[in-house]
Amino acid sequence: MTTTTQARTTARMAALVSEIRNVVDRGLAPDLTAYLVGERLAPHLGAPELLAPEQREGHPDRYRQHVLHTEPDGSFSVVALVWLPGQETAIHDHVSWCVAGVHEGAESEVRYRLAPAIAPGSTARLVATEEVVNGQGDVCGFAPPGDIHKVRNSCRTKAISLHVYGADVSRLGSSVRRVYPEPTG
């Protein structure tokens, strides 16, 4: 993943940020915050005036993160992830609640759970629980624990998704807490 510096904010993005701020400032539980932020994000997805042209640029080797907004108090960040065909994340979880919405294209997501060790001395293992394909306009939200997943561009064109994290991504560099190895057998 690459991170770019914050670019100009479009009027539509400024309106979305204001809507998100109104939810986050309520100080609700993380899962309810994610749900309500998702409701605010959905109507903006697909709007051509949401992102500036430079915020739609990908990278030939890996998905690219564009930081669009970081709240001054660090309570939330908005990023655009730009994926070229076949690009994907590692299996990971997050440091905070998260909402993701597909702005353009489609993304496949595999969700996992940690299953307990089955023999003395063994370790917990990842088990795939669900695979979903999110298309333009689809929104999902979650809060740790239970947020282990892997995401990839599942279409033949560029995909762009908007992510809102309950953390200061510009300070942390990413919302990822842990990366997990691919399950075997």
**21-25, 30-34, 174-178: range with lowest mean pLDDT:** 174-178
Per-residue pLDDT reduced to its tens digit, 112-157: 888 887 878 778 788 889 999 999 999 998 888 778 889 999 889 9
DSSP-assigned letters across all residues of 123-152: --EEEEEEEEEEETT-EEEE-SSS-EEEEE
pTM of the full predicted structure? Answer: 0.88
The pLDDT value given to residue 131: 94
The pLDDT value given to residue 117: 77
Rounded-to-integer distance, Cα 2 and Cα 146, Å: 26
Rounded-to-integer distance, Cα 185 and Cα 177, Å: 25
Determine what percent of the chain is predicted with pLDDT higher than 90: 64
Among 158, 41, 183, smallest CA distance to 105 is for: 158
Alpha-helix runs per DSSP H in the chain: 11-24, 30-41, 169-172
Among 133, 125, 123, 130, smallest CA distance to 159 is for: 133
The pLDDT value given to residue 48: 94
Burial bucket for residue 172 (CB in 10 Å: 0-12, 13-18, 19+)? middle
